[in-house]
Structure 1
Amino acid sequence: MSNSNILEISKDVLRNCDIVEVISSRIKVVKKGRNYAAVCPFHDDTNPSLMISKDKQIFKCFVCGTSGNAITFIQKFDKVNFFEATKEVAKICGYHDDRLEGIQFVKKKNPEVESLYNCLNDISNFYKTSLFQSEEGKKALEYLHNRKLDDEVIKYFDIGYSQENGKNIINFLTNKNYSIKTIERTGIGHINDRLSIKDNNAGRVIFPLKNENGQVVGFSARRINDNKDEAKYINTQSTEVFNKGTLLYNLYNAKNEARKVNYIYLVEGFMDAIALYRAGIKSVVALMGTALTSDHINELRKLGVEIRICLDLDSAGQLNTLSIIDKFSENGLNYKIVNNNVTFKEKDSDEILDKYGSEFLIKFLNNLIDRSEWLLNYYAKTLNLNNSDDKKKLVKIMMKEILKLKSNFDVDDYIFRLSKITNYDRQLLNNYYSKLLKLKEKKINNNTDFKINIPDNLGVSTDKLDKIQFKIVYYLLNSVEAINIFKSKNTYLPNKKFRLIANTIIEYFNSNINIQSIDANDFITYLSSSNEYNDINSLISDITDIAFCKKNMFPPYDKKEFLLTLDQFEFLKMQKRDKQALIETCKNLSEDQKNQATKNYITGNFKR
């Protein structure tokens, strides 16, 4: 299928879809005046800086500059190509078009990266074979069996073993024609001064790490001896295909199951994820001991299911849970937390399963609570409620949460529980809540509509010439007649940024000669599907800046007004050239001659 056909299909998809609905399928969106706002998923954002125009069907982050329409949003968020994004947008909005089934796109494969993936897969297979078929693998298998992992579980997670002689796997790989350099790129070892390499994971049980497509990208190696001088786990260092901060353990296995059952558990480590699987829960991913990142959040968001947080019950795990629920709330994720108000001493799912069995673990995992209840439990345990300052601190923390509740019954329930825990009078707490609620409502009422200073965002200087060029491209984006006039006059814009935008608008117009007006949404689609521009993202960002421009910033398009603007532009351009010529001329003049030349410039009699 040709690019022109793809472009036509994508335009039809966009005309039948709502950008707010599309973006809402991935992130939390709130109405803000005429537009909508969201926390930007493309940089570390906490305050909503991504604005969405329902009228123009475009979005723009006014911090990192990421911008576009519904298709480009899905392209960037899901990390897919233009064609895949078009299909996904149609799916989100329930738009059916038989032509979409004809879209086929074959990604160009990078031979070096493909070789790396193949090498990693062969390493994983060697580890698995070593576990079940080598003599020394027997002790590793015994270790896993002692940890209650039977052969079915071991095979499901592709667990393996790295032989103590770290050269065996290297010999195996070189016999398969992998270069030492490729082996080093997998991250299992480094080339030494003698240009040889050995496996850093030697003598350890191996957990392969897979990306969301099921490709092995790295390994985590667990020691099986009692030598505490050795690290318990050795993880693959960052490589061109592996970054621990972007990966969730078991996501590939869990994602389809998660969509079936409409939830996914988030746990700390491999053994916790495996414990849930042993208990019959397949929809589980693990953080692998790292802090939650924006990449993790985006991967979880894409599943579109309830996230059930079950981190360790020790102080570190609960502190991490506190951080995670804040991030989930900021990003509008749907989540619950496994109840942290327990009487047993075991700290993680693996320990609970081994001590009490599957039925008990499942009952524990199904005891889910919301953010407010978890926070009440957490601070009631971590604060000293015999101390007056700590009691007041608990009240302040919980009042912030209670103010977010929508149900009066929930408000009453939490105030009652807070009164019971702190021994503060219930009416006193009710009065405090009412006072805070009035302050909150007053703040909301005083909140003004989101304002955008487009010239600043575009990097337009206070120079009059730059300002009038901005005005010209604004009219070009809003009127076909303006485009025709601009073309007929062969107008040249000296500002490189505005010149590129103007030229791109004209190219788009020339390829769509029957259009009556420039639609920003269609224009962005045209740019996104093109391979002709070096920096598409920057160009789209500049165009969305202009499209987001307030309508009252310039007078509505009028032919006389536009012609006058072009005349003013040519005058300013000539004036700037004269000024530069004056500066050059004055370099070799005496003071009297400089004064006369300046006087001529001011009166319009200066000749270059």
Structure 2
Amino acid sequence: MDIGTFKKELDILEIGKELGLKIEKNGACLCPFHKDKKPSLMFSREKQIVTCFSGNCSAGTMDVIDLVQKFYSWELPKTLEWLKPYANVVETPKTTPVKTSMNYEALFKKLQPKLKQSSNARTYLESRHLDYKLLEAAFNKGKDYNSLKHCVIFPLKNKDGNIVSLYGRSIASTGNYKHFYTKNRQGLYPKYPPATTKKLIITESIIDAATLQQHFTLPRDTAILTAYGTNGITPQHTEAVSQLEHLQEIILWLDGDDAGKKATEKYGKEFAKQYPKLQISKVPTLDGEDINSLLDSHTSEIVTQFFEKRIQVISTKQPQKDYTLNIETHKTIYQDEHLNIQVLGKLDTKNLGALRVTLVVKSKHNPNQIPVRNTLDLYHGDRIEKFVRTCAEKLETGTSFIRKALNTLTEGLENHRLQQVEIAQEQQDEKPTLRELTNQEKQAALLLLKDKNLTKILTQKLQNTGIVGEEKKALFLFTILLSHQMHHTLHAMVQGTSGSGKSHLIKKVADCMFNQQKIKRFTRVSEKSFYNYGSYDLQHCGIILEDYDGLAEEAQLAWRELQSNGQLSSSVSLKNEMTGEIKSGEKWVYGPIASLVATTKFRLYEDNQSRVFTIAIDESEAQTEKVLEYMASKASKGITEQQEQQAIREIQNLVSLLKPYAVQNNYRLHLPKTTQQRRRLTQMLHDFIEQITLLHQYNRQRISADTQEPQTLITELEDLELAVDLMFESIVLKTDELDGILRQFYENLKEYITKKAKKIGKSLSETDFIQREIRQEFRISKTQLFRYFTELQELEYITKTHTGSRNTFSYKIGYWDNIEKLRTEIRDYLYKQIQAFKKNT
């Protein structure tokens, strides 16, 4: 490139500013070549020259090269080298690549601590309204690096986020030039915009970009990019913009001086030409101000106010319409000079081959005329023509006006309907995005998963989510619901009276799952709703039923099949859209699913109960006191909602790192013969042991017969011990004749009768009681007590003794079982097997 062409690429006012000259709006400034009190140096953008009109100065008239050469007293080659970055010169690469040993990444990290140590640097940043603690910046005193002396340094990064160049803003009191770059400048500040960027803000300087980062809350999917001056949008900038597939708007936020305004207009036109589908906007900064200088006399709110007032660079005003069309869901109004047309009802978005509407047509010239009302298809030409003539006759209006109005209305409704269809399709196709873990969160979660005390840690974190006194049951339910991610899924049912905390327990456990889109929570399920899901809508989902009692019989059938079979199949009538022929077909809904349900019922249909682990809520007085104490702590802000959410987030992070594996269990556990549904429960026990192994997958041995095959986890004896410990209450309930709620009541009743017998001096078999006595002692409702007594009488645990006055029935305990003995026998039975395994290994 020759010198003449080189000059054309430069703006003499911009270069003057880069030299530190304070140029006024009329182009005048103090001359740096002599002692000047009144501005005598005049810049001309049109002629691209600068002239000193003082008789005491010999500078005379200079072009841009002469100005820089004289300002620094440089030779021509050095002057041209300095000007290259501002001319956007792209040199032809040489055959021999230039090698550099400079590691800017290491240099920047070395200089970063110097920023905190330099009071001058901190003071400068404070004067520019920047908090050095929030900046990715450094400072060079000149001892560690020869270039960029006494500069606050900002990193320029490549696509990979690596530092490849440095920018220095001099804070020295001497010297006119304040902006420096390292040789062969490359990279962008603050970084290359993310691929998800929808709005891109381009600033004129790095200081302005840093100001926005600290004093402006960026809208979602908005990024900042810095241009290096008004002529500083380089090929790297344009390449970065071209890579943004989701970009919707480019916002030019340059300085409010003449150079900034002209650069905004120049680049606005270039971007509009290159990206015609994008919105190109500009932020109208105050005259002579930039983003940073606005904060000298205003608060940070001024930045937001200016951003919201941005306008399009190139006006795209449409010709004014001679009609108005207001389309709403159930009523559309069209108005022009002659007619007022109302469309009543909702548009049919299913059948796009017809546009059937109900019209009310009124004349504006004859308001007393009775409106014409009709229902017709706007795509039916003959009927439309007949309707036009009818309207013209009754409203005394020309047919051309009516025909034009109906045509305009049809086009508007047509476009609106197509937009609604597209929006509905986009919403249907839109897939929710999962939260991405930071590297710090991943490392913390991995450390916990590799910890030998994972179970204790997880139990404590579950307690921190707001689960009080039921931590072991919570871990049991957590492991069951976690199985929705794995190959073999599990199911659990939580029994308890109304208000005992069933829904709270399963809700908190469900909140701890990472992919909440896969956790479906229902309070009601209609009879056939499970059959109407898409084929894979429920696959590997965790389903929460907060009230199992409300499920209809047909819904329970579908629920059982999903639990045990992992899929639903139904024979349905299908219509051929092409021929209209109706034939029988099959509809499938695939699982598997994991589930947690809550119920207040004592006993359920055996097929429903046999497929699930059953646990009972602890309704003892001691548990109640724990819950009330936690409520008091939460009310006094000793425990906050933020602490609970933090615990939930940490557990979610753990769950996100757990993957499905095949599990090899070399140990076979037997359940007591007294256990109900022994075959099914044994399989459920082995599946639960598998889940325990998967939970500890980062601490378990992995084997693989072939490098191409997936790895298999090996179950250890610790998994058996933990599984038995967590499942124990459920196994007891499967063995016990009484269900969980009734067992708790019966044990409390036995304890009360024992105390009463001692108090009145009678034997246990002679001590009787009445319903009112028990109702008042245990503070339960009449209906609930009646259910307890009826169930216990049917099972012959209590019997009526006699009828007193006013038909009052007296009862006594007829069967004193020993649940503790049963529990001990089951526990010993299982742990003896585990001890035998230990001896044989």
The two structures share one fold, judged by TM-score above 0.5: no
> Which of the pair has more CA radius of gyration?
2
Tell me which protein shows more helix as a share of its residues.
Answer: 1
Q: TM-score normalised to the size of structure 2?
A: 0.24
Tell me which protein shows more strand as a share of its residues.
2
Please, what TM-score do these two structures have when normalized by structure 1? 0.33
